[in-house]
């Protein structure tokens, strides 16, 4: 039996819980988690589509089943092709979290390896993510390098 599995709609509440763990760790927390209820239906729909451009991989919490111990989620995006990626498919990892009681056991690494394989199978030319200082050694050990490309953001 594999340690990691693809998340299913029944995991949606736990996926949101772990996403909140990640947001809290990054200092992006707010007093309200009202957004969870609004996100839940969309997340369940996305988790139910095995052929879609979104995937989440999870590991069960070793001491608290059916709680999840780790989560990695990402999406496959199309960008106009270029040298090195003529098909224009790019993977983007946007949510990596481990339950505080399940850390330092390799669960996030195992989930990340599954997500990277999912990107490879779909033809992604490269994968992008934003790394915290604490997580950078994990990503570097998987082959990620710092990108010199400047990033800007507009909130709508």
Q: How far apart are CA 136 and CA 95, in angstroms?
A: 14
pLDDT in tens, 76-119: 999 999 998 999 999 999 999 999 999 999 999 999 999 999 99
Tell me the two tokens of residue 64. 């608290």
What are the residues whose beta carbons fall under 8 Å from the beta carbon of 37, sequence distance 6 or more?
none
pLDDT in tens, 7-25: 999 999 999 999 999 998 8
CATH for the stretch 4-140: 3.40.630.30
Q: How far apart are CA 88 and CA 130, in angstroms?
A: 20
Q: How far apart are CA 150 and CA 143, in angstroms?
A: 20
Q: How far apart are CA 156 and CA 13, in angstroms?
A: 26
pLDDT in tens, 31-84: 778 889 999 999 999 999 999 999 999 999 988 888 999 999 999 999 999 998
Give residue limits of the domains in the chain: 4-140
What is the band of 154 on the pLDDT scale with cuts at 50, 70, 90?
A: low
What's the pTM? 0.91
């Amino acid at each position: 039996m594999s340690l990691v599995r693809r998340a299913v709609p029944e995991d949606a509440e736990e996926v949101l819980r772990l996403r909140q763990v990640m947001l809290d760790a990054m200092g992006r927390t707010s007093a309200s988690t009202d957004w969870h209820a609004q996100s839940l239906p969309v997340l369940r729909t996305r988790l139910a589509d095995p052929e879609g451009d979104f995937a989440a991989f999870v590991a069960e919490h070793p001491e608290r089943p059916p709680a999840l111990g780790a989560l990695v989620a990402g999406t496959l995006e199309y960008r106009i092709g270029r040298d090195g990626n003529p098909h224009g498919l790019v993977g983007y990892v946007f949510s990596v979290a481990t339950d505080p009681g399940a850390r330092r056991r390799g669960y996030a690494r195992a989930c990340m390896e599954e997500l990277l394989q999912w990107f490879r199978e779909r033809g992604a030319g490269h994968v992008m993510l934003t790394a915290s200082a604490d997580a950078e050694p994990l990503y570097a050990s998987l082959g990620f390098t710092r990108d010199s490309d400047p990033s800007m953001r507009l909130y709508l």
